[in-house]
Amino acid sequence: MNSVTRYSFAMAALACSALLPTAKPVNRPSKQNLLKKVLHSLFLSSLLFALFLHPRTANAQTGTFTATGSMTTPRYQYAAALLANGQVLIAGGWSDPAISVYLASAELYDPATGTFSATGSMTTVRVDPTATLLPNGQVLVAGGNNCTGCVLASAELYDPATGVFTATGSMTTPRYNHTATLLLNGQVLVAGGCPNPGPCEPVASAELYNPSTGIFSATSSMTTARSLPYATLLPNGRVLIAGGTNGLSTALTSAELYSPATGTFSTTGSLITARSSQGTAELLLTGKVLFPGGCGSSGALASAELYNPATGAFSATGSLTTPRCYHTAALLLNGEVLVAGGGNNSGELASAEIYNPAAGTFSATGSMTTAVAFVRPAATLLPNGEVLVAGGDSGSGPVANAGLYMTDSRVWRAAFGLFWQFR
């Protein structure tokens, strides 16, 4: 056993010893609660070990995509959410845009079996809705469109316990290509998007969903109207909303912050490069936010940048190895970021790459089994540390294929699996 390994075990032992009762305990925790605390401490100690004692080099770790079970229906522009039980809900989208097949159906991916199975259908068909896991374990699915020229204000809740969708209060404004962000107070911030059919004329309006009442209510509007913006919950509880488009394929550089305490938006530093690629801004373990690639006003971008909440400024970081627009991204358990798929002037992409925050560089990793592009977020980090990427547009239409991205970080997967099971 080398010194680094010995130190990591010492860290774990120290974390556990801090939980042991004193000679005269006042309130002895139950065995179940003590076990939870021990497992939490083991997870945190392994996290400290990985961050401080095992720094990553400039080379990405070994990673591969492998095929997993296919979805029951080919889908594109669907909504996805990781459930509290570790399964993944996938709902709505297109099945065949050429003949306008919109979907109300939904399905579940079970990591334990590697298969998809049908669950209850939504109350209406939806393309480009948002899906947000609520603190009570239900999933809020809001907005989208359901036919040529129809934009939805309605919303519904999926209950994993029953597998059923039920209607909830409607939004104050019909929207698609909007954002939905779970706040630290349990409410959901919905902002921007397109309220009209045809050429998008984005709105600046925003609203809050209260799970306790099932009602949406207006909050202050953004400083800029946006379609397909990035939205990221910051550690301080504020929401960073950046970029997007003005509805005319012109990408935006401006960014702003929403404060739940005041219910207002305020401007912050601007992006260096105008970009839009909803769902691909990733909050790093450092507290900074990564914006990799995206759709610029002249096509797919390779450039990337970081937002620093402490300074309110964006700064350049290493570029992608391949320009990408409509890709997907996921933060891995070791703090690196997977960026996969999308498209550029060469067509849809199967390639993928890893961002290393310590080095500030991207490097190639294993490719997906199918070249696909996405509009909605399509990469879901599973409790075992693998990343599920499903569906998308192959250029010939939606696909049902799904794949799992796996790395060599088996210790991370085991630690996080225990943390998830006993959280």
Query: What is the pLDDT at residue 97?
Result: 66
Query: What is the pLDDT at residue 277?
Result: 86
Q: In the beta sheet, which residues pair with residue 337?
A: 331, 355
Domain count, the chain: 2
Query: Closest Cα to residue 354, out of 326, 388, 329, 389?
Result: 329
- Answer yes or no: are the C-beta atoms of 203 and 227 closer than 8 Å: no
Q: How far apart are CA 35 and CA 385, in angstroms?
A: 22
Q: Look over the chain and give the mean of its residue pLDDT values, rounded to a whole number.
A: 86
Domain end, chosen from 54, 74, 89, is at 54
Q: Report which of residues 417 and 291 the model is more confident about.
A: 291
Query: What is the pLDDT at residue 149?
Result: 64
Structure tokens given for 423 = 């959280």
Please say if the pLDDT value at position 46 is more than 80: no
Structural domain that includes position 13? 3-54
Q: How far apart are CA 85 and CA 386, in angstroms?
A: 15
Asked if residue 82 and residue 8 are part of one domain, the reply reads no
Please say if the pLDDT value at position 390 is more than 50: yes
Asked if residue 17 and residue 124 are part of one domain, the reply reads no
Domain end, chosen from 33, 54, 75, is at 54
**Residue 26, in any domain of the structure:** yes
**Residue 423, in any domain of the structure:** no
- Identify the helix (H) or strand (E) that includes residue 415: helix 410-421
Out of 13-17, 92-96, 188-192, 383-387, which region has the weakest mean confidence (pLDDT)? 13-17
Q: Report which of residues 112 and 35 the model is more confident about.
A: 112
Asked if residue 345 and residue 264 are part of one domain, the reply reads yes
Asked if residue 97 and residue 46 are part of one domain, the reply reads no
Across 58-66, average pLDDT: 69
- Answer yes or no: are the C-beta atoms of 234 and 248 closer than 8 Å: no
